[in-house]
A = this chain, B = another copy of it.
Amino acid sequence: ARPRVGYYYSGKSPHEVVAAKIRRFKVGELQSRPVVVGEATSIHDAIITLFLEDVGTLFVAREGGILEGVVSRKDLLKIAFGTGDIRNLPVGVIMTRMPNIITTSPEEPAWEAARKLVLHEVDALPVVEPVADNKNELRVVGRFSKTTVARLFVEIGERR
């Protein structure tokens, strides 16, 4: 545990201490397990998966976990609300597709990832890593969501 001292030298204003602390966390320390489906999964089955796994966003990947798309609860509500045949429509037709997906990586500061969530108005980002032999392919390794940020915020505010 950190020793308690009455004062300390930091060269920083209290605001900077707080900002620096908040910017120190890495996505990789906080990310959750990604919930992944294939592009051919029916929208019906995707909705079932969303409820069973209790997440707000599904990532669509092919063999090897290569990211192909993202489908949100909002996308699924829009289609379930329509008259489409969700048993025979694949998620591929409604997903946001690469390269239009906002992603993060385990090494990115969580603060930057939170900024992406806010700026791009999405609920979750896939945490990805490059695939050695192909710069255009990304492997999904985690999930970073507004829930992740809320949990971190609560944890930082705990008195220890």
Q: Report which A residues bind B (CB closer than 8 A).
A: 2-11, 13-19, 21-23, 44, 47, 50-51, 56, 73-74, 76-78, 80-81, 86, 111, 114-115, 117-118, 123, 146-147, 149-154, 156-160
Known: A22-B153, A51-B78, A146-B146. A160 touches B15 (CB 8 A): yes
A114 touches B18 (CB 8 A): no
Closest 4 CB pairs of A and B: A146-B146, A22-B157, A80-B80, A7-B9
> How many copies are assembled?
2
Cα A73 to Cα B123 in complex, Å, equals: 12
Chain B, Cβ-Cβ closest to A3: B13
A18 to B15, CA, bound (A): 9
